């Protein structure tokens, strides 16, 4: 059976995910594959509704565990309704964030720890994982400045810098695993995109 590949793009706020998501999608298409671009939290009607709650600044009392469970509620729906069926059709799926964001933001940022996230990952996803995780890495301050120019701060973007330093450290910590690529996004866009192009083209081999 033909099976698509599952690529996720990760990183702290303002790291340049949108531009590079477009590049990855174009590269996958140029490799002759159908591509579906999606995002988390979101990607389904339910997931987009959960996203609204998660990003709503009025939800300032949300506990870290409630936040984590909502992320996984949206993810459970996303995987069953969208991601797995697309992969089974042979479509490649590119997701703006996935489980690694839960390890970074809830495990690291909110300090729930990676074991708690791993237990939920096991429960909700079994062994289902991306074929490739591209983590864009950037100085936290530079990223937050970039993000603040694009839109008004949501519930996460309103966090203090120390939170994002923990998020960044958790991403870097995960980047040594098999199937992970850490890309220095602090360089000129052409250099970042040259690296991403090489990484994606390896998947065609």
Note the residues at the interface with ligand TMP (CB under 6 A).
13, 39-41, 71, 96-97, 101-102, 105-106, 156
Burial of residue 185, with CB atoms counted within 10 A of its CB: 0-12 exposed, 13-18 middle, 19 or more buried: buried
Which residue, 25 or 31, is less far from ligand TMP as judged by CB?
25
Which residue, 6 or 156, is less far from ligand TMP as judged by CB?
156
| Alpha-carbon separation of residue 92 from 9, 51, 61, 81, 204 (angstroms) | 14, 23, 38, 15, 11
Which residue, 31 or 118, is less far from ligand TMP as judged by CB?
118
Q: How far is the CB of 6 from ligand TMP (least distance, A)?
A: 15
Q: What number of CA atoms fall less than 13 Å from residue 180's CA on the CB side?
A: 18
Q: How far is the CB of 43 from ligand TMP (least distance, A)?
A: 10
| Alpha-carbon separation of residue 142 from 16, 40, 139, 187 (angstroms) | 11, 23, 5, 12
Which residue, 71 or 200, is less far from ligand TMP as judged by CB?
71
Q: How far is the CB of 144 from ligand TMP (least distance, A)?
A: 11
Helices (H) and strands (E) in the chain, counts: 9, 5
Q: How far is the CB of 159 from ligand TMP (least distance, A)?
A: 8
Give, for 137, the enclosing helix (H) or strand (E). strand 132-137
Q: How far is the CB of 67 from ligand TMP (least distance, A)?
A: 7
Which residue, 157 or 195, is less far from ligand TMP as judged by CB?
157
For residue 124, cis peptide bond before it (omega within 30 degrees of 0)? no
Question: Shortest CA distance to 64 belongs to which of 133, 128, 141, 155?
Answer: 155
């Amino acid at each position: 059976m033909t099976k698509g590949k599952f690529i996720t793009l990760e990183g702290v706020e303002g790291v340049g995910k949108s531009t590079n998501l477009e590049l990855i999608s174009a590269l996958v298409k140029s490799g002759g594959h159908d591509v579906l671009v999606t995002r988390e939290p979101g990607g389904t009607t339910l997931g987009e509704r959960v996203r609204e709650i998660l990003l709503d600044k009025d939800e300032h009392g949300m506990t870290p565990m409630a936040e984590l469970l909502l992320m996984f509620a949206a993810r459970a729906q996303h995987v069953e309704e969208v991601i797995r069926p697309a992969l089974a059709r042979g479509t490649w799926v590119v997701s703006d964030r996935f489980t690694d964001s839960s390890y970074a933001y809830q495990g690291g940022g909110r300090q729930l720890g990676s074991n708690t996230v791993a237990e939920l990952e096991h429960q909700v996803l079994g062994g289902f994982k991306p074929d490739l995780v591209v983590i864009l890495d950037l100085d936290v301050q530079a990223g937050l400045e970039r993000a603040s120019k694009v839109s008004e701060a949501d519930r996460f973007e309103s966090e203090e810098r120390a939170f994002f330093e923990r998020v960044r450290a958790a991403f870097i910590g995960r980047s040594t695993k098999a199937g992970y690529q850490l890309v220095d996004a602090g360089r000129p866009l052409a250099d970042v995109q040259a690296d991403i192009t090489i990484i994606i083209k390896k998947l065609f081999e």
